Amino acid sequence: MSFRGLAGFVLYLAACGEVTGAKLDASTPDGAPDLNDGAKSGARLKLRYVDYGNLRDVQGVRDTQRNEDCRPQEWSGGKAYCVPDAGGIVYANAACTQRLGQVYRDSACTTQSPPPGYFVDYTFTNACTTERAHLFPRATKVAATQYYFKNSDGSCGGPISSTTSDFYALGAEISMTDLVETPISAPATTGRLGQRFYESADGLRYPLSYRVHDALLGVDCFPGYRSAGATTGRCIPEDAAYAGDFRDAACTQPAVSVQSTCTKSKFAVHYGDCPYDEETYYPLGTQFTPANLYSDDGSSCAPYQPSPSDTHYTVGSPVTLATLMRIKGNGDRLKPIYFQTAEGLKVRDSMFYDDELQAECSSRTQPDGSTLCLPRSYAITTFYTDSGCTSALDLMSVYRGAATCSPPPLPSYAYRSTKDAGTCRTSYALHNVGASYTGPRFRKTSTACIPDPITTSLHYRISTAIPNSQLVSGAMAVEP
């Protein structure tokens, strides 16, 4: 399976796609180790990080003038700013002119998480693309039982009834001049791949969403790899349409179908039949008008009528993506992981390597505020071995795909997540993985006990728990 996920995530939450995420590296002028791997604080904007002693995990920025955390983000109009975390916006009326901040209310929590201090509104640049455009502070809580939303064509949808959300009035829009602009730097080319950063006038230098630039393909890309422990990776283009259709009755000639109002991508990606098959990338080809398209369901190639609202494209010959080495850096128990090229690029992966547990890990915050480097792991699920659902059995499930697909790599660890009702934060408890389980499995629904219908996963027993005291711990800090 090729995993693709956001940097900093440790858990295989039913992950599919190529694992991506890199932090960009540089050395300090005197040759001493650069704990921030190329990131730098400014006079106003200071780096926030998890301090592991000899290593750091950069997590965001502190705006010392506004006395709040923020994160560099791309904004409408081709701009970028360090923006505080913000919730989403819906509307109180059928004309979508009265904005409301919406916050999910978790019924499992006796105390809800604090609502965000801000809410962000988006604008549609076309039917497929949105941009952050407006930022508002949270005002007073309001009583509402339904809301409306904007469609991509500007029309107003709804109403939708909700008993699981809280709603807030909004204050006056925040001017972007009150925030720090963080324009994206030109790539610092060291060959085919070049580093990119958000950089501010006050001196901040912050990794650009773990992206680098591929000069040969002319796009930004994400260093990615296929599974934990990989020693090589590829740089995955960020802009690729899904080539899920075919032009021929044998399903051998991929085609791309996109809404006609959407922006044309530069590349297309076709996924294999099995989760660990390597994706193939193509340049997007010429537009064509098919009488039929074909879909491959794994057992047959079936024709269907294309949608008149879609535009269809051929694809060119497969492109060769830039390759990178993936190596462990220096450290004590916890080591950084880097992507490197022979041309001199050195890019920090979002993962660390725990020498004692012999596993890759990343930072997770527990309900008490502590931060642990939690190894990659799959979730623990409770099944039952009998049709009455009286005999419980905890298992770890790993997606394999069809029975003809190769078994996925077996992780050494599984995790159980528990919502702490008092803080509404999730805690993670790590366990060793036991033997394969192929016996009967039943699941509870709200009304019955039914056989588990899933046939595309492998299942493993859960072994001993690993105390948090055996994991590497760190603490959040802000550079002075």
Report percent pLDDT > 70 for the chain.
Answer: 93
Whether the predicted pLDDT of 31 surpasses 60? no
Q: Which residue has the higher pLDDT, 460 or 273?
A: 460
Model pLDDT, residue 323: 96
Whether the predicted pLDDT of 40 surpasses 70? yes
Nearest to 2 by CA among 222, 329, 220, 296: 222
- Span 406-457, pLDDT tens digits: 888 888 999 999 998 988 999 999 999 999 999 999 999 999 999 999 999 9
CA dist., res. 208 & res. 72, Å (int): 8
Whether the predicted pLDDT of 21 surpasses 70? no
Whether the predicted pLDDT of 322 surpasses 70? yes
CA dist., res. 117 & res. 325, Å (int): 41
Query: Is the preceding omega at residue 159 within 30 degrees of 0, hence cis?
Result: yes
Whether the predicted pLDDT of 2 surpasses 70? no
Whether the predicted pLDDT of 29 surpasses 70? no
Whether the predicted pLDDT of 298 surpasses 90? no
Taking residues 181-201, report their average pLDDT.
91
Model pLDDT, residue 126: 77
Q: What is the sign, positive or negative, of the torsion defined by CA atoms of 94, 100, 106, 110?
A: negative
Q: What is the sign, positive or negative, of the torsion defined by CA atoms of 141, 145, 151, 156?
A: negative
- The domain segmentation of the chain, as residue ranges, is 80-178, 189-315, 361-475
Whether the predicted pLDDT of 268 surpasses 60? yes
Average pLDDT, the chain: 90
Least trusted range by pLDDT, from 95-104, 185-194, 241-250: 185-194
Look up residue 79 and give its amino acid.
K
CA dist., res. 16 & res. 37, Å (int): 28
- Span 155-180, pLDDT tens digits: 999 999 999 999 999 999 999 999 99
